Structure 1
Amino acid sequence: MKRKSFFILLWISLGTSLFFFLFFTDEKSMRNFMITLLISSMYSFLLGAGNGLINEVLNKKFPWSEATTKRAILSIVSILIINFILVYFCNYMNFVVFQGNATTAEFFSGKYNFINWFMINIALLISAFLHAKSFMEELKKTSKKEVVEQKLIAKSANAQFETLKNQLDPHFLFNSLNVLSSLIDENPRQAQKFTASMSKIYRYVLEQKDKELVTVEDELEFAKTYCELLKTRFEDSVDFIFDVKKEDFRRYVVPLSLQLLLENCIKHNFATSSKPLVIKVFSENDTLCIENNLQVREQMKESAGIGLANIVQRYSLLTRRNVFIEKSEDYFKVKLPILLEKPNVINTKTDTSDASYKKAQKRVKEIKSFYSNLISYCIVIPFLVIINLLTSPKNLWFYFPMLGWGIGLAAHGMSVFAIGKNWEDKKIREILEKENKR
């Protein structure tokens, strides 16, 4: 037992013992006060510690966040059984052992049934408070943990995305300077044109590199300009064919993806006038395809692998659709997903977090409503029993509200923890999981 809990139960024992000693004890003596304090402490510590122990054991084996339905059912069953045993034990010690008001036979004959039943309701009230508090604390911890995890995921995704985009500047500049250095020796006049065109292209790189997505139309215009530079160097050795559907122009792809793939085509294949390299850019089934005839050149050194790997990773951060690669003896093709709308790395995570929070908030309201109903039942029904027994003991009408409300309470509990919307949500999740596995 925690120190804080011990002192709370001690103060409850002192308070209840003073109340009963001052208002219900005829002979005010130290002996009677100590007996009252002993009896109050017995009730407080046994009922409080017993229910607290049950709650702690269930928290360890069946946390609210992992097994809500099972935990609720076990809580209800365990508190009913344990409180029934503890109340009968405390009442037996009180009336038979300490006060000596009844014999064992009289105690179990039914004379003290009302007192036992009343004390069981009080114990259930205490248990309901303890378990409701435990649930709220667990939910608070889980919500905080989920929020922190979502923030970390969003920050990690953004950091990764920025790292990938920052690879593009030096990569493009390095390859362009390589082309330029080749042209300076081969054709100085063409090198001057290439330098002017490269400045325009690099401006586009600087403008688009901070964007997550660009339109297919913008990317095609940039790719065509870049292809003119490549034609300046390779002349008739390279041919470019563009055949993209107009309805795809307003859709989206990751920026500089075409430029990186065009570079890969030139880098990994040889091109001559007799055997030109033919590069096709076309749309097919919501994908933007880049295909070239396969004329593999021998690599003097191992490729850094920035181009295609960069595109694949950037798409993985923005959509679940994959980049597909097809390779045969005759051609090499890369299929880039064409996206209908602009996703956002942060907003995607935030929306998921908000949806989870709203769902959790709704769940809390349902469970809180049930516990409020249970607590009200434990308070009102004993009060009605007392009124009934004081006003008309021969006409026991309290059974009707007790049974009616009890049935309603049981139905409420089943709808919240067993067969209500929670059951529907589980079935929906099961069906979706099965569909995803196909």
Structure 2
Amino acid sequence: MKRKSIIVLLWVAIGTALFFFLFFTEDKTIDNFMLSFLISSLYSFVLGIGNGVINDYLNKKIPWSQATTRRAIISVVSILIANIILVYVCNYINFVIFQKAATSEEFFSGKYNATNWFMVNIALLISAFLHARGFMEELKKTSKKEVVEQKLIAKSANAQFETLKNQLDPHFLFNSLNVLSSLIDENPKQAQKFTSSMSKIYRYVLEQKDKELVTVEDEIEFAKTYCELLKTRFEDSVDFVFDVRKEDYRKYVVPLSLQLLLENCIKHNFATSSKPLLIRIFSENDDLCIENNLQVREQIKESAGIGLANIVQRYSLLTKRNVFIEKSEDYFKVKLPVLSDKPNDVSIKPEDHDKAYKKAQKRVKEIKGFYANLTSYCIIIPFLIFINLYTQNNYHWFWWPMLGWGVGVASHAFQVFGVGEPWKERKIQEIMNKQKNKDNGNF
């Protein structure tokens, strides 16, 4: 146990000793106070340290955050068994050894059953409160840890995504200038036309580079414009075929993915009038495919692979669906997943912040209300038991408020932590997530 917990137990022992010494001890002497303090310390430290050791051990072996239900069951069983044993040990030491009020035979004969049962109930109530407090502390730590981890993941993913998108500008500009440089010598008029068209294309690049996803329709229109520029340079050496389903036009792909793949087709394959390079862009199942006949060009310098790697990494940040690459002796094909919605396009409005804040406030108020109820129960019920046993031993009326209020506390606990509105919200969210995953799997 921590040093702070030991100090708390010491103060509890001192407070309990003073209480019983001042109100229930007729002969107020130093010896009686020391005996009262010794007995209070016995119960405080044995019960406190015993429950603390059990709680610490269970926290290491079965944390609340990993197996809540299993931990709750094991906690109930362990504290029930441990507190019965600890209370009997404390009572035996108190009545038989310290006060010498009974012999061992009398203690185990049943004479002290009521006292033992009374102390067991008090110990269980206090232990339940301490374990509940431990659960809340663990819950807070886990929640904070998850929030920090999610923020770090979000920042890392965002930084990685921005880095990937920033590769597009120099990559596109470098390849376009190469084409323009070739055209200036071969066909100045076409070079001028190419420059005008390139400015339009680059405007699209600047408009789309900050977006995570764009519609298939926008990407196809851009690709057609880019293909016209390639056709200007290569003429009959390159042919393009577009066969994309109209129903796919309103779906989404990664921006500039087609342009990068078209560049790869030109870069890695030779194209002549006698052996033209045929590039097809078409729909296949739930993918947008870019396929070209394989006419591999000998590479003087090994390719850096920026274009295709860029697309693969950007898709990995947006969806679990993969980019597939097929290669045979005759063709090379890349399959881009077509997404029905924008997974990461989440905009939080100010009113949503207010709703979330009010919801969080309500949740905190519910939890505080439950622990106020539990604390009152742990304080008042032992007091009622003490009054009942002190004033009237024949009729134990304390069972009625203890059981009635106990059922209320248990119901309150289930409502706050398990079977109330939060449970309904969790089930609704769980069903929505399953449906969303199912929809994603049916793209």
What TM bracket, shorter-length normalisation? 0.7 to 0.9
1:41 is aligned to: 41
- Cα distance between partner residues in 2 of 1:72 and 1:416: 15
- Cα distance between partner residues in 1 of 2:396 and 2:343: 67
Q: Is the 8 A contact 1:367 1:416 kept in 2?
A: no
SS at the partner of 2:77? helix
Structure 1 stretch displaced more, 372-381 or 40-49: 372-381
Q: Aligned in 2, Cα 1:386/1:98: closer, same or farther, shift over 3 Å? A: closer
1:179 is aligned to: 179
- Superposition deviation, residue 166 in structure 1: 0.7
1:138 is aligned to: 138
Q: Is the 8 A contact 1:286 1:338 kept in 2?
A: yes
- Cα distance between partner residues in 2 of 1:107 and 1:401: 29
Q: Aligned in 2, Cα 1:189/1:304: closer, same or farther, shift over 3 Å? A: same
- Superposition deviation, residue 106 in structure 1: 1.8
- Cα distance between partner residues in 2 of 1:212 and 1:158: 11
Structure 2 segments unaligned to the other structure (5+ residues): none
- Cα distance between partner residues in 2 of 1:117 and 1:378: 16
- Structure number with greater CO (CA < 8 Å, separation at least 6) is 1
- Superposition deviation, residue 125 in structure 1: 2.0
Q: Is the 8 A contact 2:366 2:416 kept in 1?
A: no
- Superposition deviation, residue 390 in structure 1: 6.7
2:272 is aligned to: 272
1:198 is aligned to: 198
1:235 pairs with 2:226: no
Q: How does 1:59-98 map to 2 (within 5 A)?
A: 59-98=59-98
- Cα deviation, 1:106-139, whole Å, max 9, x if unaligned, reads 2222222111111111211221122112111111
- Cα deviation, 1:151-172, whole Å, max 9, x if unaligned, reads 1111111111111111111111
- Cα deviation, 1:198-246, whole Å, max 9, x if unaligned, reads 1221111111111111122211221111111111111111111222222
Q: How does 1:128-167 map to 2 (within 5 A)?
A: 128-167=128-167
- Cα distance between partner residues in 2 of 1:76 and 1:106: 31
- Superposition deviation, residue 190 in structure 1: 1.6
- Superposition deviation, residue 71 in structure 1: 2.1
> How many residues are matched?
422
1:318 pairs with 2:323: no
- Cα distance between partner residues in 1 of 2:394 and 2:305: 91
- Cα distance between partner residues in 2 of 1:329 and 1:368: 71
1:328 is aligned to: 328
1:99 is aligned to: 99
1:247 is aligned to: 247
Structure 1 stretch displaced more, 261-270 or 60-69: 60-69
TM-score by length of 2: 0.83
Q: Aligned in 2, Cα 1:252/1:2: closer, same or farther, shift over 3 Å? A: closer
- What is the letter of the counterpart of residue 181 of structure 1? S
Q: Aligned in 2, Cα 1:21/1:392: closer, same or farther, shift over 3 Å? A: closer
- Cα distance between partner residues in 2 of 1:42 and 1:301: 82
RMSD after superposition: 3.7
- What is the letter of the counterpart of residue 219 of structure 2? E
- Superposition deviation, residue 189 in structure 1: 2.1
Q: Aligned in 2, Cα 1:218/1:417: closer, same or farther, shift over 3 Å? A: closer
Structure 1 stretch displaced more, 160-169 or 15-24: 15-24
- Cα distance between partner residues in 2 of 1:364 and 1:80: 30
- What is the letter of the counterpart of residue 108 of structure 2? F
- Cα distance between partner residues in 2 of 1:79 and 1:106: 27
Structure 1 stretch displaced more, 386-395 or 90-99: 386-395
- Cα distance between partner residues in 2 of 1:16 and 1:395: 27
SS at the partner of 2:17? helix
- Cα distance between partner residues in 2 of 1:380 and 1:14: 21
2:224 is aligned to: 224
- Superposition deviation, residue 394 in structure 1: 4.6
Q: Is the 8 A contact 1:125 1:375 kept in 2?
A: no
Q: How does 1:112-131 map to 2 (within 5 A)?
A: 112-131=112-131
- What is the letter of the counterpart of residue 243 of structure 1? D
Work out the percentage of aligned pairs sharing the same amino acid: 76
Q: Is the 8 A contact 2:129 2:378 kept in 1?
A: no
Q: Is the 8 A contact 1:128 1:374 kept in 2?
A: no
- Cα distance between partner residues in 2 of 1:177 and 1:107: 99
- Cα distance between partner residues in 1 of 2:173 and 2:399: 87
TM-score by length of 1: 0.84
SS at the partner of 1:301? coil
Q: Is the 8 A contact 2:278 2:292 kept in 1?
A: yes
2:291 is aligned to: 291
Q: Aligned in 2, Cα 1:241/1:364: closer, same or farther, shift over 3 Å? A: farther
2:21 is aligned to: 21
- Cα distance between partner residues in 1 of 2:366 and 2:75: 19
Q: Aligned in 2, Cα 1:368/1:294: closer, same or farther, shift over 3 Å? A: farther
